[in-house]
Amino acid sequence: MRLRRVAILMLASVLLTVLELFGRSQNANAYSLEKEAALGRQLAADVHQRTIPLNSPTVQSYIDSLGQKIAVYMPDTKFPFTFSVIADDPCSTIHEPAALPGGYIFVPAALFLAAQDETEFAGMLTHAMEHVAQRHRTLQATAGTFATVPLVFTGGWAGGCSEGPAIPVAFLALQRSAELQADLQAVQTMARAGFDPKALVHYVERVQDRPSRTMSKTYSPMPDRDERVTALLATMEKLPKVAYAVAPSGEFVRAQQEVRRLVGQSVPSDAPPSLLRRKPE
Ligand SMILES: [Zn+2]
């Protein structure tokens, strides 16, 4: 029993350390910008190897244009963004794009199909881009090193959504806090870019499961859906009240149709992680 108490106290201390380090923002990051960019290049090359690209000039041009439009309103960004569209869906519970250090964003085809309009799509893209701007992955890796928590971070790719007791609880708490921070930054960026932030709330409410399908909250890398929605709404309350123009839907619909054509009409919206055949290992 005493050992158990000591273990709990040690875990709490690790958790406090990582959260404190995380809170110190960029100062706590052991990675130089050059090192982070090089790490991102390496991880991105690995992801390219393991995933099926969605080759379409129409879709690529759309995502490049939308991504750059959003990036203009992210003054903290230290890295240029590089967007790739893939048939795989690494975070199939909500179809979040994978955000790697150094600005490499892998957008799953499933997000094009799950978003009801451009504003919802832009909300999820902005959330992923905020992970890069806030340097979440290298901050997590830094905290992991300092707190001797194993470096689950090669996950920049897998870590975003993977869940399970194999990942330290303290690290998962850090991951959930990164998700909430990306949400809160995203609604502010969306508002500056002229996208109605309510769309991100609508998307999360509609698409994210509650409760987590497989694990208790403690073992989930994602914040509880209702917790996310409450935090998003609280941040939006503080934003200036403006009437947002409805985003023109033409280009998004064209890109969405092209994605649907490429992955096949028969793919349901809750399709398995890979919409197309996966490359052999
Ligand atoms: Zn996220």
Residue 279 CA to ligand 1 center (angstroms) comes to: 25
Residue 28 CA to ligand 1 center (angstroms) comes to: 20
Domain boundaries, the chain: 8-266
Distances, alpha carbon 113 to alpha carbons 42, 153, 271, in Å: 29, 28, 10
Residue 160 CA to ligand 1 center (angstroms) comes to: 7
Is the model more confident about 185 or about 248? 185
What mean pLDDT is reported for the chain?
79
Residue-wise DSSP of 176-215:
HHHHHHHHHHHHHHHHHHT--THHHHHHHHHHS-SS-SSS
Residue 227 CA to ligand 1 center (angstroms) comes to: 14
Is the confidence at residue 273, as pLDDT, over 60? no
Residue 2 CA to ligand 1 center (angstroms) comes to: 38
Per-residue pLDDT at 91: 82
Q: From CA 212, how far away is CA 207, in angstroms rounded?
A: 12
Residue 6 CA to ligand 1 center (angstroms) comes to: 33
Per-residue pLDDT at 8: 42
**Average pLDDT over every residue of 10-20:** 46
Is the model more confident about 163 or about 201? 201
Residue 99 CA to ligand 1 center (angstroms) comes to: 8
Lowest mean pLDDT, pick from 33-37, 78-82, 239-243: 239-243
Per-residue pLDDT at 268: 47
**Average pLDDT over every residue of 112-132:** 96
Residue 140 CA to ligand 1 center (angstroms) comes to: 13
Closest Cα to residue 279, out of 15, 86, 99? 86
Residue 131 CA to ligand 1 center (angstroms) comes to: 7
Residue 125 CA to ligand 1 center (angstroms) comes to: 10
Residue 1 CA to ligand 1 center (angstroms) comes to: 37
Q: Where are the alpha helices (DSSP H) in the chain?
A: 2-23, 33-50, 57-71, 109-114, 118-133, 136-146, 169-193, 198-207, 225-237, 250-263
Q: From CA 229, how far away is CA 18, in angstroms rounded?
A: 24
What strand order describes the sheet that includes 98-100? 82-86, 104-108, 98-100
Dump pLDDT digits (tens) for 42-97.
Answer: 989 989 998 999 999 999 999 999 999 999 999 889 999 999 999 988 888 899 99
Residue 5 CA to ligand 1 center (angstroms) comes to: 33
- For 159: left if phi > 0, alpha if psi spans -120 to 50, otherwise beta; the answer is alpha
Q: What percent of the chain has pLDDT over 90?
A: 51
Per-residue pLDDT at 112: 97
What's this model's pTM, rounded to 2 decimal places? 0.81
Give the other-Cβ count within 10 Å of 56's Cβ.
Answer: 17
Residue 49 CA to ligand 1 center (angstroms) comes to: 22
Six token digits for residue 251: 């280009």
Is the model more confident about 175 or about 81? 81
**Average pLDDT over every residue of 88-115:** 92
